[in-house]
Amino acid sequence: MASVVSFVSSSSVALSNRSPYRYRSPAVRAPPLFCYHRNHKISGRRRLTVKATETDANEVKATAPDKAPASSGAAGSSFNQLLGIKGAAQETNKWKIRLQLTKPVTWPPLVWGVVCGAAASGNFHWNVEDVAKSIVCMIMSGPCLTGYTQTLNDWYDREIDAINEPYRPIPSGAISEGEVITQIWVLLLGGLGLGGLLDVWAGHTSPVIFYLAVGGSLLSYIYSAPPLKLKQNGWIGNFALGASYISLPWWAGQALFGTLTPDIIVLTLLYSIAGLGIAIVNDFKSIEGDRAMGLQSLPVAFGMETAKWICVGAIDITQLSIAGYLLGAGKPFYALALLGLILPQVYFQFQYFLKDPVKYDVKYQASAQPFLILGLLVTALATSH
């Protein structure tokens, strides 16, 4: 989840791509939802034919379209396909399909986390070597380990996607099971290899970045895969997602250029509570499907009204606490800058999110989250001095 940070799997942007009807708990899992039929082929290859049980079809109360939802145009649909978001064009080009599975739209938060960690180290310099190190760390965190996480998540959600989004690459048979598993392993081993390379490059006596990559990869696995499947629990799953997108890439960037200290670990884990709040934003549009599948997202567990306030409370109280910490640490200008970035977030919460979290979720995230992201950098810069 989501490593350095693959981590799972999704900033809020990552989660916005998931199906509204997600995989059921293993405790109530229905019979297998798919089987292979050798007599069906697509472009000369065997096709995965989906057969949903009658019980599942009634529970989700949805008729899955055979084709991907139309976007604003062919170009937009192709662009969505390359980013790995909804409204994607159906492709036959294998490399475009592989890219779609990695969901490039989810990479930027990890890249930004590396930037914050490098800034927090106080040792990053604008020279060729440091820039090259940071780029390799970003490739490890984004394309490799986040790509691994997203492909893994699609693999373990393939049965429920077969009901709700059968046009997606895996349930449609556009890419074979063997090819998906190979991609998962290549991305994982590539990310771990880059982590080890960065440790050697940085002259570490202990392979701290490699360990972070391993930890993030493991977190990604238990987030998506049974029997733990952390995404089934609203509290644990969302906090794991927040930590994956905020803490882990920050730790990697800081360890690459400096020393990862206990106070930074605590501070970034605290910031991950704000990430939990962001993850909740994306649960509102999935509430009916989550309820039908027995998933305990916070809007399901507490109701929409209560969950709205839990969400904004997690985001705002976390940032206010960090501003207070910076003030107490003798950094009033950074604290004031962070407070200045919190105010517009509160405004957009009342303007959009608290009015209707389903209707305005995209507008709210597009309006408010840039200020949260800038606040991360302010905090990173504050800790570097």
Mean pLDDT by 10 residues, the chain (385 residues): 43 42 39 36 40 37 50 57 71 88 89 95 96 97 95 87 78 92 98 98 96 96 89 86 90 96 92 90 78 80 93 95 95 97 96 92 88 94 88
How confident is the model at residue 257, as a pLDDT?
97
Does residue 81 contact residue 89 with C-beta atoms inside 8 Å?
A: yes
Whether residue 4 is contained in a domain is answered as no
Structural domain total, the chain: 1
Q: How many residues does the chain have?
A: 385
Give the number of other CB atoms < 10 A from CB of residue 200.
Answer: 11
How confident is the model at residue 306, as a pLDDT?
94
Whether residue 2 is contained in a domain is answered as no
How confident is the model at residue 28, as a pLDDT?
37
Whether residue 344 is contained in a domain is answered as yes
Whether residue 1 is contained in a domain is answered as no
Whether residue 184 is contained in a domain is answered as yes
Q: Which domain holds residue 85?
A: 11-383
How confident is the model at residue 198, as a pLDDT?
98
Whether residue 6 is contained in a domain is answered as no
Cα(189)–Cα(106) distance, integer angstroms: 20
pTM above 0.85, yes or no: no
Most distant pair of Cα atoms in the chain: their distance: 71
Whether residue 187 is contained in a domain is answered as yes
Cα(23)–Cα(225) distance, integer angstroms: 10
How many alpha carbons lie under 13 Å from residue 368 in its C-beta half-sphere?
Answer: 28
Tokens 């910490």 sit on residue:
325
How confident is the model at residue 67, as a pLDDT?
57
- C-alpha angle with apex 308: 306 to 311, nearest 5 degrees? 110
